[in-house]
Structure 1
Amino acid sequence: MHREVELTVYGAEVLCPSCVNLPSSKETYEWLQAALSRKYPDQPFNITYVDIHNPPEEAEKQEFAQRVIEEDMFYPVVLVEDEIVGEGNPKLKTIYSAMEKHGYQPA
């Protein structure tokens, strides 16, 4: 493996209207972090949570957070590098596939 992959989970405190009965964005972020750590032990990656209503100073993250709001995306929206791999209720299989494209090997 060459370098750590960057995952970003965009979401909000309040569930999106179409996401009732699903975990919150923050819960999805924590679940994803745990699942990826188990699937790819000793293979580091960066995972960041971004609140779409209070994004960090980075212009790139602010712009995508605004896009989530403007395009009424279902959140959480999960990105691997800059590719959207999950929206609303992200599927682990899809995220694993994206990770493996970047050289991660399942345990």
Structure 2
Amino acid sequence: MGNKKVVITVYGAEQICASCVGAPGSKDTYEWLQAAIGRKYADGDLNYHYINIDQPQTEEKHATMVERIFEEDLFYPIVFVNDELVAEGIPRLKTIYQALDNHKVPLLS
């Protein structure tokens, strides 16, 4: 994969999405994803970011996505691998792993 980092971004809020009752919170999902991905992939090529949608955003890219979440009533957490939306609501590891494979993130040896 070289020196190019893959960025995993999770957008969420402290309050659980109204349509996701019974699901873990966004921050819990963020931490769970780091642990699950770290058991399968070499994490030297990965960067993780958590974006709280209830906080003001200084980066335009994140501000635009937060606005979209509210305008389109998207379910959160929302998971991106680089610029690809791979999960909305309750994430599925299989889908996220497929995106990491597509970006040629090396598996643990």
Shorter-chain TM-score bucket reads: over 0.9
Question: Which ranges of structure 2 fall in alignment gaps of 5 or more residues?
Answer: none
Deviates more, 1:34-43 or 1:79-88: 34-43
CA contact (8 A) 1:79 1:86 kept: yes
Q: What does the per-residue CA deviation read over 1:18-48, in whole Å, with 9 as the maximum and x for residues that have no partner?
A: 1000000000000001111111135430110
Structure 1: state its 5+ residue gaps: none
TM-score by length of 1: 0.93
> How many residue pairs were aligned?
107
Q: Which segments of structure 1 move beyond 4 Å, counting only runs of 4 or more?
A: none
Distance 2:58 2:25 in 1: 23
1:55 and 1:61 in contact (8 A); partners too: no
Q: 1:57-96 counterparts in 2 under 5 A?
A: 57-96=58-97
**TM-score (ref. length: structure 2):** 0.92
* 2:50 is the alignment partner of 1:49: yes
> Between the two proteins, what is the percent identity of the paired residues?
50
